[in-house]
A and B are shown apart, each in its own frame.
Chain A
Amino acid sequence: MIKKAFTKEHVVKYILVAFALSSLLFLFLIFIFILAEGIPLFHKVGLKNIIFGFKWAPTKGSFGIFPMIVSSFLVTFGALIVGAPLGLSCAIYLSEYSGKRLKLFLKPALELLAGIPSVVYGFLGVIYIVPLVRNHIGGPGFSLLATSIILGVMIFPTVISISFDALMSVPKTYREGSFAMGATKWQTIYKVIVPSAKSGILASFILGMGRAIGETMAVIMVAGNALKIPTSILDPLRTLTSNIALELAYATGDHRLGLFSTGVVLLIIIMTLNYIASFAIRRKVLK
């Protein structure tokens, strides 16, 4: 009887190990697959002509994605400008001011916000934000501004939950010490708590950026997808992700390879961001 239980335990363990490793395998396969499909075009057309090329006309042999790289960063910073101050303020309120009951209510609500599918955000953007921008500010409405607002709201939960954790992990003694020196609550937050949670807050911004730069559906719906580098915040623009999603259905041959090259560039950017974020978090833990 004991022996049987023992084997069953083992079976479960090995099944779980296999599943756990399969996630790693998937990551590895995705990586290999994208590189294998994306690299050949870099050889054929040249790295410089892809990354610094201004003209994207894949069916006519131009594969420049520079405007899209710029646009991706523009919407990402736009999202940060909208989402970061809001998110950080909310995290500070949650960790320093709010009572337990309000916290119990606010935290799940924010998690719910994170769980809303991006197509819903995109839909709301098309129905409300885009006409609002078009009628009251100008331009076609499908714009850098509208995209930044939508993405700002979308990264809100990421920024809040990670910077909230960072703020909560500041030892209570820091606060007590500061109060003992006669500092007010705001002085304590401003001079002591936020600076000591700095790297965690930074990580929350970077992970928010990662989310914004990788977002696709909502961006396709509100960005307008024009191929030029926008010259004002009211111009339409196209990001790396939306380029892939827009054209993949119809792409064949070199066009398809061009989209994979876009994917390679995107993968590298996102990996760099995640690496920086985990570096920031790790440094905090070591300290």
Chain B
Amino acid sequence: MPKLMGTVLLVLMVLPLTFGACSTKSTQTKKRAVTVAGSTSVMPFTEKLAEHFMVDHPNFIVDVQGGGSTAGIQACLNNTVDIGMSSRQLKNEEKRLNQIIVCYDGISLVLNPRNPISDLSLKDVRDIYSGKIKNWKELGWIDRRIDAVTREEGSGTRGSFEELVMKNEEIDDGIMVQDSNGSVKEVVATDPYAIGYISLGLVDNRVKAVIIDGVGPSIDAIKLGQYKIVRPFLYVTHGELDDSGKEFINFVLSPIGQNVLKKEGLIGAYD
């Protein structure tokens, strides 16, 4: 018995060394693989697309990972992934990548449903985030500090927000920071005095979308060009894609792929 225990213990000690080496290879020998990584805002939609794609093309494996826009772009530049996802425009030094606009997404300012305010001007929003307006009283509500929430530095949503709303002003240091659309929504849904911004596709009845300069964020308003806080969702590639990658991108841009995106509350690339 003790001898058996000893052997088991030995096997257990050596197992982690060998296990890692042999487990990964077996699955992908025959299937054609496409790896996609990047923006956590684009990821859930790419996953949906990949699901549909793999139903129609059973010999493909589409591997979707997060990491953030910048990480996705970087991974694409290093050729570690086939396609990078970005929820912000490319910076100058990243322009050597090919970019494909997959769809458009609105960014919606959100308030707690208990907040009576329903519309703000773009300037109000800018002043809140640059720290000039700190109290709800200044916007015609009660005397209470505004609990504004932003995203962390490097996030694609924050990048687009800075570009489209803040213009040349900086976001104040006293503003709270959360690290995902989900946590921003959570804060706004539970704190009556909070304001935040999230992807339009993720707005539900737990938060209230703010009307900006008289225009509410809706798919129609974005299509008509009235609602201005809109950003593209990009796929980026480094050089020529292989056939599997091309096939996936063709699917995404096809009417079937675009319909999948529209069902999720996004605006198609051709609208």
Contact = CB atoms under 8 A, between A and B. Distances in A.
A250 B152 contact: yes
B174 A250 contact: no
B10 A247 contact: no
A180 interface: no
Contacts of B186: 126
B154 A141 contact: no
A252 interface: yes
Nearest to B172: A228
Q: For the side of the interface on A, what is the size category? A: 20 to 34
Interface string B172-216: 011111110001001100110110000000000000000000000
A255 B194 contact: no
Interface in B62-78: 66-71, 74
B220 to A, nearest CB: 32
B138 interface: no
Interface in A201-260: 220-221, 224-228, 235-236, 238, 246-247, 249-252, 255
B2 interface: no
B5 to A, nearest CB: 12
A246 B74 contact: no
A272 interface: no
Contacts of B170: 57
Contacts of B187: 142
Contacts of B152: 225, 246-247, 250
Given A12-B10, A224-B177, A226-B174, A249 B194 contact: no
Interface of A: 12, 15, 19, 55-59, 67, 126, 130-131, 134, 139-142, 220-221, 224-228, 235-236, 238, 246-247, 249-252, 255
23 contacts: A12-B6, A59-B153, A67-B173, A131-B191, A140-B147, A141-B147, A141-B191, A220-B179, A226-B175, A228-B173, A235-B174, A236-B176, A246-B152, A246-B177, A246-B179, A247-B152, A249-B66, A249-B67, A249-B154, A250-B71, A250-B153, A252-B154, A255-B153
